[in-house]
A and B are shown apart, each in its own frame.
Chain A
């Protein structure tokens, strides 16, 4: 079984995640899409680890997970805060950073 297939899968999932970030408006879904991208990257790391025959890739993937967990915690807190003031979870409503 060609390990490169996992890499193709990873690329596909990453792309889908990226599209999701762009086209979905619900902040939580956007967040999940980001998680999907991170997971896709993790899959690549694990696959590279296998291709190269050492565990460094797995360790990096592990770190990625930890950082992703941190990110989720903070990100969701932000979403809750925004929701509290705007009564909306749509990221288009938080568009103050414009010209």
Chain B
């Protein structure tokens, strides 16, 4: 497939076709990123743009970068994004109404100005009218060409960047690491604490979430003897995410008890 892409890229016509199909699509996807409410959808559209760019790289004689784009970006980085999205709530959707006064018109005006000026500038430039092409540079293969540059001219930046990578990895570990201020209480301590607290209501531990015939999951609160929902039976983070179901459907009053009466 790579060879095919190279072949397509080397002839002008197929490349143009490829460009005029993929470019509008990627612009549309990029615009979509701005407009969709759910972050997951944005991520999918982003992935599309990245793959489209990878194709462009390959088409322009940079197969190594194109592959790296797909493997590193679309593969690793986007996965990381999705992973974090799962962590903070896949389903949460943004409100697209603007809260900071005047920001959106400013941004759009600036963007139109920026884009317009850039395109005007590019149009004025004489660049690219007669591209040299990287065929000569890629004579010994694109990977070899990049490698020879990386390990000669750019060896120092290369080393620095490697240091940066390690530092970044360490840094993210430090950031993500939750620093404990006190020692973790033991089971024994927790139990003592429960019994000594003001009420004995929770002495036996928090109630388990509801277990019902029609729905058996941690997102439904248990019912108390008087039939009301026990808020304490739901995990706090579920509550924070808003992923708690209403348990009213399982309340005593709403269940048909006629059979018992017959006895």
Contact = CB atoms under 8 A, between A and B. Distances in A.
Given A39-B53, A73-B172, A1 B15 contact: yes
B31 interface: yes
Nearest to A83: B88
Contacts of B16: 1
B68 A76 contact: no
Interface residues of B, number: 88
Nearest to A14: B118
A73 B127 contact: no
Contacts of A81: 175-176
B146 A59 contact: yes
A15 B149 contact: no
Interface string B231-257: 000000000100000000000000000
B187 interface: no
Q: Which interface class (under 10, 10 to 19, 20 to 34, 35 or more) fits A? A: 35 or more
Contact of B27 (A9, A42, A79): A9
B73 A39 contact: yes
A32 B146 contact: no
B104 to A, nearest CB: 6
B212 interface: no
B2 interface: no
A66 interface: yes
B136 interface: yes
A60 B39 CA distance: 30
Interface string A40-61: 0011001111111111101101
Contacts of B13: 1
Q: Is the interface of B mostly helix, strand, loop or mixed?
A: helix
A26 B42 CA distance: 11
Contacts of B218: none
A84 B99 CA distance: 24
B211 interface: no
A80 B176 contact: yes
A52 B126 CA distance: 12
Contacts of B125: 4
Nearest to A13: B30
B87 interface: yes
A83 B173 CA distance: 16
B111 A18 contact: yes
Given A18-B111, A32-B33, A68-B77, A46 B57 contact: yes
A97 interface: no
Interface of B: 12-13, 15-16, 19, 23, 26-27, 30-31, 33-34, 39, 42-43, 46, 49-50, 53, 56-57, 60-62, 64-65, 68-69, 72-73, 76-77, 80-81, 84-85, 87-89, 92, 94-95, 98-100, 103-104, 107-108, 111, 114-115, 118-119, 122, 125, 127-129, 131-134, 136-138, 142, 145-146, 149-150, 153-154, 157-158, 161, 164-165, 167-169, 171-173, 175-176, 178, 240
Interface of A: 1-9, 11-20, 22-26, 28-29, 31-33, 35-36, 39, 42-43, 46-56, 58-59, 61-63, 65-74, 76-81, 83-84, 87, 89-90, 92
21 contacts: A7-B127, A15-B118, A23-B107, A25-B94, A28-B39, A39-B69, A42-B65, A46-B65, A50-B132, A53-B132, A58-B142, A61-B62, A62-B64, A67-B164, A74-B171, A77-B171, A77-B173, A80-B175, A81-B176, A84-B178, A90-B94
